[in-house]
Structure 1
């Protein structure tokens, strides 16, 4: 019933029995690597659309994702089946990019009243510049690490948020308990898929929550140093020797999905 409800809120059908559920970050991961390597991987994804259920899992907002799809259409990047955006705070149909109420409404409930409590604390803080995003369930800032007061983070988290720093330059304030991993796990429950078919891929600290789920994961070679530090405690995560799309493909072969290239 949960899968039927999810599909009723989408504008395009999902693969009925996917052999692989591929969950990819965008910047540095699916959008990473040489153009020809990306073109080849995007072509493979398009050919396997009925066998591979593809999910974007990104810090970008929906408007930014729409721009990426338009800009990269010439080299073959197609819309995914589903989107997790805003570092886990939004779930949308991959085709229409329309938010999915089943997934978004519980996150929205956690965010109620939080932003009003946070903004007075954030106003005028040195080392913070607001990112130009269109998101209703998180706050996002660029960080100048030399001037930012890290003592502010526990003050913010006391008001019902989790503070996530990634790539030493991005700060996301998310509803407590909401991240890429938590939202992905909820989505998989609705999809009713075999967890052994799921592979995640990423390159920055905002992908750590995906890797901490225990699902198969691919950390691409260009992963940030802060994420690489966690690798020893992530036994289900494979560190690729290649960057971006080539790293994803390498990881899929490592996990035994070679048959999808036949």
Structure 2
């Protein structure tokens, strides 16, 4: 039952080229930066990543991207990464963009044993009709486009409505970061860092959690646990320095009001 491993390097040592990873985080908030860095140092590549976004140019998944280690990304937002845009538009990277709520539900469904589900998001657009560019060639032409998806009408309180079928996501590995966790793998996320982390933990066949504070079994209030240990296979306790190494994606400030702070 003790799922603690000695280091992040040990925790991701069996991630092989071609693996599919579900990675928690939103922007740079709640990303498993220590595990990502361990993958970077290990040199593993040809990875498919399922994540809300791909970090920034020099942090988070942006490290793997900049090193050419990603072959495919399934995401809902990629606007903060210039290298991501360059690789996508030049045909070096395959990208499947999906509505954010749909991405979350695809991951949740994968962890719940639901192979597919119908949603209204994307009906009447290329999300359902197909034709979204997944990969360009070197000349800028579309080399791989998204396929058309099954649609079906269902009765709703407002009358018949069209829905589109979306398939669940199951990853070889789930990588997440938690605020607190115990040796059994029970996890608690803090505030907005909760984001996609519980979903990434659910859909990974093997889930690795880096935790900012490791506690003993029984110390966590069962009513406050966000991800039960049944979904988690390895726990990596972070050092004080690793916990403190957090980045702000975009720093914005308001002008100081006249006379304040003087």
TM-score (norm: length of structure 2) = 0.34
Structure number with the higher strand fraction is 2
Higher radius of gyration, 1 or 2:
2
Structure number with the higher helix fraction is 1
